[in-house]
């Protein structure tokens, strides 16, 4: 077991499965005490048990971050039970794949996505911020998407919530960086998880494994860069910054063609 994170306490949301669960195991193997937050108690306890059996330190907290009362209660417990909290990884999320024209009477899709992806993450961050300031340090990591770097269709609710969280996180560092508050935005490509598996055509799409994606979160916690991204994501950002109209126009038929191809491969 590595000792790079020995003595550090990391709070990680969305820790019951997928990227979050794998990241929790990896962070614990590097010596961190991990506080695991998620809604599903049985799965959360299983991840905690795995970590403890491997010699690590983990604590499980069942919480619905979309519920203000539940989120406030878990924040109070974290602060009471852990005198030192070094990092918060806002990884929990909800994704909805639906065209905007099919969402005209579904404002609730946007509301429920914002409830967890944005308001839940912001609420927890604000609750832990006084501890970070008192310590003189605190690192905030958010799981975002490469799709906020390039103009992707069909995920307007999800991408709007992630873009909002990115802006909040950048503002946090801009205002409080001199007080030791740092942040990392992790721009994941498509990852093979339960969430992406909900879209059938994505079964035919090459994706990053949850295990490899978890390494991106570990890098964010250990090295604390401003961002963790891929080359296509970085190129997309440059393109949108310099030629947004051209990039958006060129991307539209490419994504339509990709969806048709994936659909054929899935049926075949």
158 is known as an active-site residue: yes
| Run of H or E including 10 | strand 9-13
Q: Rounded distance, CA 224 to CA 185, Å?
A: 10
**Dist CA 170 CA 161 (whole Å):** 14
13 has which bridge partners? Answer: 37
Q: Say whether 222 sits in a helix, a strand or coil.
A: helix
Are 5 and 31 in contact, with CB atoms under 8 Å apart?
yes
As given in the structure block, the two tokens for residue 90 are: 């806002």
Element at 145 (helix H, strand E): strand 138-145
- Report CA-CA distances (Å) from 233 to 112, 136, 239, 257: 27, 32, 10, 20
Among 118, 158, 187, 202, the active-site one is 158
Active site residues: 158
């Amino acid at each position: 077991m590595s000792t790079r994170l020995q003595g550090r306490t990391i709070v990680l949301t969305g820790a019951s499965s997928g990227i979050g669960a794998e990241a929790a195991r990896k962070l614990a193997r590097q010596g961190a005490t991990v506080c695991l937050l998620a809604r599903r108690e049985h799965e959360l306890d299983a991840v905690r048990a795995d970590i403890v059996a491997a010699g690590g330190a983990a604590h499980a907290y069942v919480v619905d971050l979309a519920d203000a009362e539940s989120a406030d209660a878990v924040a109070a417990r974290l602060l009471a039970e852990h005198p030192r909290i070094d990092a918060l990884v806002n990884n929990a999320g909800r994704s909805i794949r639906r065209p905007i024209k099919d969402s005209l009477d579904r404002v609730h899709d946007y509301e429920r996505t914002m409830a967890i992806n944005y308001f839940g993450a912001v609420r927890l961050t604000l609750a832990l911020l006084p501890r970070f300031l008192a310590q003189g340090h605190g690192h905030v990591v958010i799981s975002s998407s490469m799709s906020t770097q390039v103009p992707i269709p069909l995920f307007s609710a999800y991408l709007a919530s992630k873009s909002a969280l990115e802006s909040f996180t950048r503002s946090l560092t801009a205002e409080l960086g001199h007080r030791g508050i740092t942040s990392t935005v992790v721009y994941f490509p498509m990852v093979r998880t339960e969430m992406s598996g909900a879209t059938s055509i994505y079964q035919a799409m090459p994706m990053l494994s949850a295990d490899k994606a978890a390494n991106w979160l570990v890098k964010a916690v250990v090295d604390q860069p401003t961002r963790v991204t891929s080359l296509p994501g970085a190129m997309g950002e440059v393109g949108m910054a310099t030629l947004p109209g051209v990039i958006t126009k060129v991307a539209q038929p490419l994504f339509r063609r990709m969806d048709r191809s994936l659909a054929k491969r899935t049926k075949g």
